[in-house]
Amino acid sequence: MERASDAQTPPADDAHDDAAHLNDSSDYQGCFACGARNPSGLQLVFWREGDEIVTEYTPEPAFQGFPGVAHGGIIATLLDETLNRTAVLEKRWLMTARLEIRYRQAAPLGRKLRVTARTLSSRARMVQAEGEVRLADEPETILADARGTFLPISEEYRAQMLAEHPELRSFFEW
């Protein structure tokens, strides 16, 4: 099955040294949002444009809520994953502690969505970010916006995860 996000590739001029870390290139790749090996997932690809993290996605009928529109949980996933990627710019992998979303308009199926996120603040134990989902062909149209708080993965969880899934090791190396 060809995914709508399969055609996504970061722009060729993305010169960010850590660009490879924005996307899972490990042997795991099972994440629902970004895992290239998850056939049921969104298979998002992320890149950096200035101080923002960006991804694009075209919702498919399998992810609809009301007829003709993307389920709100898919919009939440797009925002959660993109906002979380702002911490990667600081070489940190964090988990979502809080995500507040304002849904403004329904996201239509079959139209490319552009998701952007940027860091609001960064401290030793926390990153706060904000972002939005817009129609890619009508960038003035905001479908949803969000603010999120992200905290470190505990060392115990990280050790357990790597013990059970050693194929993830390269994902966490800088």
User: Over the stretch 3-19, which tens digit does the pLDDT of each residue have?
Assistant: 444 445 455 444 444 55
| pTM, entire model | 0.87
- What's the burial of 156, exposed, middle or buried (CB within 10 Å: 0-12/13-18/19+)? exposed
Provide the total of helices (H) and of strands (E) in the chain, helices listed first: 3, 6
CATH topology assigned to domain 49-172: Thiol Ester Dehydrase; Chain A (3.10.129)
pLDDT per position as a tens digit, 47-67: 999 999 999 999 999 999 999
- Comparing CA positions, the residue from 159, 92, 160, 157 lying closest to residue 126 is 92
